[in-house]
Amino acid sequence: MLKKLVAYAFISVFAVLPFFAEYNRAGIPDSAEIRSGITDAWLEAPVSSLKSKPSELKENSAGTVFQIRMEERMDSIAVIVAPRSFIDVDIVEDGKVSDSVRAAVYPECSPGSWVLYRNKKNGEPQKIRWYFNTDSDVYVQFEESQNRTVAQLVVCGLYAAHSVPVGIAFTRLYSASFADVLRWTKTSLPWEKVSVLTGQYHEIIQMAQVIRENIPLFDYTEDVCYDSDGTRKFITTGKKYTVPDKDGNPVEPPENGRITVGGAGFLKWIADGIVKPLSGSALKLEGLAAPTVLFSELGKNGVISQEWNLTLALDWTRNLASQIYSVRAGKDYVFSECGVDVEENFFSGAVDDSASAKRYHYVPDSGYPPQSLKALLYVLSVRDPGWFYLAAIRQQSSIKPDELVFNGCAALFPYFDDAGKFKCAVFMNGGEVPLEKFISDNSSSFIHLERVRATDYFFPVN
């Protein structure tokens, strides 16, 4: 009888005890004692001998099994020392799950994996990559440069630190523990950007879930939001929301239990769910579109802005964030007084991009390139757990194709789950989209962020 194995993505790493010398204080499996014994056989052996060498399994004194193997890359070989994990596997017979087993796997990018890259032609060492995080695109890497060892700390494709000198010989890393690495780089690498503590994201997760549960109720209607009295209005005119009847006359459509909002109105609905439990009232539409950017009347943007609103989404998100802050503080503030703009520059360039580091920096009144968004949200979520972000999107205008305007917005809820894995819920235009899609859809745009403290008293108001 035909049997098929179907793997599903639940991987559990061996539990470890922190008092074993082979493990660092973060509880990451460490292969130091194993690597110290494989220098001749794997780390410095001729490349030709490794190509036919079978993988090996070795157990450290803490009881964790590691697999040692070689994999060929384009211009290099990778000697991988990876700890054992387990993946749950369903046994499917006749289209039905008949049983479940656990299979051992040795992922290259799992916490505790150590990888030495060597030149494929001459076998010279190129770099060492050390995975210590649940997210595989967060790692520390070492290279030899001008007879010295330098380190890079990488977060989601961007350098949180680049070419930082480490005062040890490169080959010392062959037998070093991760605890050694932490000690050597304690003050030189910004570990605080990647030191995840779980259990701090209850409000973020709760708010995202409430929004998600209400999504089926939304009818996306451009330029519409709810005023403080629950009246549906057009944002750009402040007039009541109407639609033409069969004779072409404007009439207010009946309320039918649905929530009628545009993209900006959707963000106001979220903001109202925070402030109404505190103040007893939703936010007034008046003032939310007030300008936050001043253009020179003689400049190009100043002339255009007399006819077109170039910054509506930026103004809207800034004013929403400052209004929420004001309600909580019991005093009125404008956006520039309460620090809602996100302006931090955490990164010094990209791993796969030789462009200037400034390409990934904050641009005043424009924001960040979307390529830096995941890394930015990751570090913000580590540093400031419990905050979400209102995003204004500066993109090409559909009316004036040669101009960039803020005409889109979203709400971003970054957090770490109980396993320490980074996630981010993205809500826009009355729906939810994956973070990766949001980034790719806006690849040629700028994303401006406003910070808002999440709350566990979030209640929808419509």
Report d(CA 105, CA 200) in Å as an integer.
31
Distance (Å, whole) CA 109 – CA 129: 9
- Ramachandran area for residue 163 (φ above 0: left; ψ -120 to 50: alpha; else beta): left
- Is residue 94 pLDDT above 80, yes or no? no
Predicted confidence at residue 431, as pLDDT, reads 97
In terms of residues, how long is the chain? Answer: 462
Tens of pLDDT, residue by residue over 253-277, are: 988 889 999 999 999 999 999 999 9
List phi, psi (to 5°) of 42.
-130, -50
- What is the 8-class DSSP label of residue 40? I
Percent of the chain with pLDDT over 90: 76
pLDDT of residue 358: 76
Determine the pLDDT at residue 398: 56
Q: Torsion-angle region of residue 165: left (phi > 0), alpha (psi -120 to 50) or beta?
A: beta
CA atoms lying within 13 Å on the CB side of residue 458: 24
Q: pLDDT class for 397, splitting at 50, 70, 90? A: low
Q: How many CB atoms lie within 10 A of CB 337?
A: 12
